[in-house]
Structure 1
Amino acid sequence: MKYEPRIGVERRPRSYIVLDVESAVIDESGHRRYQATERYSPGNDNNQPARRGYTRSEDPLTCPRWVFQTIVTASIMVLTEHADGNLDIAQFVTLSQPDHDERAIVAGLFQLLQTWPDAELVTWAGMVHDIPLIMMAAYKHGLTLPRGWRWLSFGGNDPARHLDFARIVTGGFKMKPIHLAEVLAALDIPAKMTAPAFAVTGFIYAGEWDSVQEACECDTIGVAWLLARWRRCHDGRADIDVATDRLLRRIIELREGRGYVAELQARRRRFLVEAGRRAMAA
């Protein structure tokens, strides 16, 4: 991606939409229709796979695959380029059960995308998770992508409009896949501040929606922070200290009361002390 404007053309500030969704199999009617097409009757199978050569967890007849999942939460952060080269948070929106069903969540996402037609999408593994789930929901509920975003219907693999950091940090998925939390830990960026990834499905089935929303927002925050680091590689004005303080301050303001805010407040206090020491030593 190029940051240099064309000669004689003033470059507009860039905008980014950082997105994360959470999902689970909460409506099994579709999976039962699939079982019916395969003439499969669940019955008492003693926890055995339905077909030879499968383990139970691999057999789509007994273990619904991703296509039968329902989106229950979406966290969306809109970031705009500041004149100093860093990022400002323009919007931080979470759409989630119990207040919104899947249709309302995806329709709300599309409405937000419509207001930012030139933005770049930013995700972690969005090409292999978030975008396929969103498009399946669009098919299911008869939703139309807004203008400027219909490229998502082809898989969302446009490297100029979609910064999928799972693809970027692995050289186009050529290196061994890794978890977002590994990358964030290596860069000392806060990750999974309220719960580990494996706990989220349990929160969904238990209807603990505040916990689901916090987990989803934590991933969005981590990816936004990763985006700030990535931008420094392209724009020398994008000072890491300025970006760190600005993101911390704005998230604390916008998400007062969330379970992860205390950790971000403590991190910001430490950051300001360390920045003051560096300034005095300079």
Structure 2
Amino acid sequence: MHTDNVSFEQALARDARRFLGLGAEGGRAGRSPQRIIVADFEYRWDRSRYDGYRVSEGESAEPTIRWPFHRIAAGSWLQLRFDPGEEVPTVESIVVLAKDEANEQEMIARFFEALYQVPTAQLITWGGEVKDLAVLRRSACEFALVLPRQLTDGSPHARERIDLCRAVTVQARSPHLPEYAAATAIPAKPSPSRTIGELVEKGDWPKVRDQVLADVLTTAVIAVRHLAAHRAIECDQPSTLMAIADAVVAAIPGSEFARRSFAPWARGQKAASGLRGTVYRPAE
């Protein structure tokens, strides 16, 4: 009798697990796709207007050229769609623009249109709350553009977006993107951070494009890891990184960073994920 009771209880537990499993599958199937848009921008300084400001204000003028005088010179954004039950997201678009092909207003309008198209997408930046979003809001007012949903809430904790620098930092000191990337073995900026202004001033647009694209790719990797760690998404991370690399190389074949740094690194991550057990290496 005792054995029968145990068997009956085990059968009930098994049936309950099956029921919960089916419910979970049904819940996943009923969920809508989740989208994120990872974005970054590079800038030039509006020196003429700043000089006018300094003359009018005299000694009261701010001695550094701060964000109101920063004009967008290049931008890039990557859109990913995570479908319920799928291990790898779909790379829906990857865009890179620079001043030699579009002016500031045109770049911002295209970026806003990407956000308008998917109002439920979460906007992800690295340090965007510090400058990028302020510049975008200033530009929207200046060019009579309507802000997308992701930019209307002024709170740094708005659900419509994530500033990864803030999210990974919590109360620690904020790291620079290449600093965090180096510490976590992610490829980052092809040119040192402090040289981007000079590249913009020189009009070296191929290098500027590669820099802003690299920032988006690095931020995208951090975003996937961060969201997965917080159970906000479910995906096969190595395959996801490989899918991003393949899509970017196909869409932007001229990017040396994508071809020579990011794609080989993603392949290495994918290969390493296939290893099981202890890996023995020959002694040197």
**TM-score under structure 1 length normalisation:** 0.80
In the other structure, the counterpart of 1:17 is 37
The separation in 2 between residues aligned to 1:235 and 1:143, in whole angstroms, is 32
Out of 33, 37, 56, the position equivalent to 2:56 is 37
In the other structure, the counterpart of 1:133 is 135
1:94-173 maps to which residues of 2 (within 5 A)?
Answer: 94-146=96-148, 148-149=149-150, 152-155=151-154, 157-171=156-170
CA displacement at 1:105 relative to structure 2: 1.0
In the other structure, the counterpart of 1:255 is 252
In the other structure, the counterpart of 1:56 is none
State the one-letter code of the partner of 1:177. Answer: S
Which runs of 5 or more residues in structure 2 are unaligned? 1-23, 280-284
In the other structure, the counterpart of 1:81 is 82
The separation in 2 between residues aligned to 1:80 and 1:8, in whole angstroms, is 15
The separation in 1 between residues aligned to 2:28 and 2:249, in whole angstroms, is 40
Ranges of 4+ aligned residues in structure 1 off by more than 3 Å: 268-281
Give aligned pairs, total: 253
- For residue 12 of structure 1, give the secondary structure of its aligned residue in structure 2: coil
Structure 1 residues 177 and 265: alpha-carbon distance in aligned structure 2, compared to 1, 3 A threshold: closer
The separation in 2 between residues aligned to 1:92 and 1:236, in whole angstroms, is 20
State the one-letter code of the partner of 1:126. Answer: G
The separation in 2 between residues aligned to 1:67 and 1:90, in whole angstroms, is 32
Identify the structure with the greater helix proportion: 2
Which runs of 5 or more residues in structure 1 are unaligned? 41-49, 52-58
Match status 1:267 vs 2:265: yes
The separation in 1 between residues aligned to 2:29 and 2:53, in whole angstroms, is 54
The separation in 1 between residues aligned to 2:130 and 2:271, in whole angstroms, is 40
CA displacement at 1:118 relative to structure 2: 0.9
Larger radius of gyration: 2
- What is the percent sequence identity of the aligned residues? 24
State the one-letter code of the partner of 2:185. Answer: D
The separation in 2 between residues aligned to 1:182 and 1:229, in whole angstroms, is 17
The alignment's C-alpha RMSD in Å is: 2.7
Equivalent pair of 1:23/1:70 in contact (CA under 8 Å) = yes
The separation in 1 between residues aligned to 2:87 and 2:271, in whole angstroms, is 24
State the one-letter code of the partner of 1:10. Answer: G
**TM-score under structure 2 length normalisation:** 0.80
The separation in 2 between residues aligned to 1:31 and 1:136, in whole angstroms, is 16
Equivalent pair of 2:44/2:200 in contact (CA under 8 Å) = yes
Equivalent pair of 2:35/2:121 in contact (CA under 8 Å) = yes
Task: Please give the per-residue CA displacement for 1:42-94, whole angstroms capped at 9, x wherever unaligned.
Answer: xxxxxxxx46xxxxxxx62x532221111111101111103324422110011
The separation in 1 between residues aligned to 2:128 and 2:163, in whole angstroms, is 6
CA displacement at 1:156 relative to structure 2: 5.6
In the other structure, the counterpart of 2:226 is 230
The separation in 2 between residues aligned to 1:11 and 1:163, in whole angstroms, is 21
Match status 1:200 vs 2:202: no
